[in-house]
Amino acid sequence: MLGKLWPVSVLTIGGGGIGQVWGETDRTESVATIREAIDSGITLIDVAPSYGNGEAEEVVGEAFGGKLPFGVRVCTKLHVGETAPDEVFAAMEDSLRESLERTRLSFIDLLLLHSPIVPDASQAASWRTPLPTYREAIRPAFDRLVEQGRIGAWGITATHPPSMVETVLSEEPMPAVGQMVANVLDAPGDMKWSEEAARPRDLLAIAKERGVGVMAIRAVQAGALTDRLDRELDSDHPAQIDFDRAAPFRDLAAELGSSAATLAYRYALSMEGVDTVVLGVKNREELRESVAAAEVGALDPETVKLVDDRVGHLRV
């Protein structure tokens, strides 16, 4: 179950890869990848307007022509940022309408606030939203869209800053779903933008306690937990830093006869509170590796302990 919503596959096909955010691919390969993901049993598609400037949503539209296979659901997102409270609903309506046009759908199962929530307007920016705006305008707008039958449920990207995520998950109405970082290094990568510690496992525990569904993201931390990075990055890029830091993890994966990505996905599937792991794959080869990892299943407790003992000291 995804929180209190509905059954979901243990893997979700994400939009970062098929939206051409994580390395080189093309529309043809992306369409083939998302179709194969659904054929392999994946039942949730997670996209966003910001993934390739609408490209991920366009892929959904081209792949299924506005008619999703039975049992398949779509999640997309929107940014609100510094939008004035009295303009929030109109802005959210516009974003939803554009997403529906790109995906060729008439209904979105799950709509997430992609803007990080900050305490007040002094910390807001074009991509960050003040807590008062969330309380006074965004939550009511989400509820209104649900009541109008235009979306099924709503949630948030629940990554940073953790203090705000805790606040949001302590108030009613509560998000049905949170997208949360879940990886062996506890590394949020470039999703961490303040000095506040990330604390992803604390957030997972809070979500589980409060019945919030968890879509786990960054299982391979933008490629840092794979055998090799698939794109050139500056030495100070968070994914490059994490890749360098994760060398002992790759060594352990090799000792266990596994690729680093397979071990990383299986570890994320083992983490308490995770309902589904969102894949950032960009082609069928990467998809097949991820599906094979899920078919083998979550790690047993002994292997989790082995991983924790070997690489726990590397965590953020």
Q: Of 143, 145, 116, which is closest to residue 131 (Cα–Cα)?
A: 116
Those residues whose C-beta lies under 8 Å from the C-beta of residue 185, and which sit 6 or more positions away, are 221, 224, 225, 242, 245, 246, 249, 311, 314, 315, 316
Residue 133 sits in which domain range? 11-314
Structural domain includes residue 283: yes
**pLDDT score for 127:** 82
pTM: 0.95
Looking up residue 149, the CATH number of its domain turns out to be: 3.20.20.100
Structural domain includes residue 6: no
Number of folded domains that form the chain: 1
Structural domain includes residue 2: no
Structural domain includes residue 5: no
**pLDDT score for 22:** 73
Token pair in block for residue 241: 């830093």
**pLDDT score for 230:** 82
**pLDDT score for 154:** 98
Q: pLDDT by residue for the chain (316 residues), tens digit each?
A: 999 999 999 999 999 988 888 778 899 999 999 999 999 999 999 999 999 889 999 999 999 999 999 999 999 999 998 899 999 999 999 999 999 999 999 999 999 999 999 998 877 777 899 999 999 999 999 999 999 999 999 999 999 899 999 999 999 999 999 999 999 999 999 988 888 999 999 999 999 999 999 999 999 999 999 999 988 899 999 999 999 999 999 999 999 999 999 999 999 999 999 999 999 999 999 999 999 999 999 999 999 999 999 999 999 8
**pLDDT score for 122:** 78
Structural domain includes residue 3: no
Structural domain includes residue 158: yes
Structural domain includes residue 227: yes
Structural domain includes residue 1: no
**pLDDT score for 30:** 96
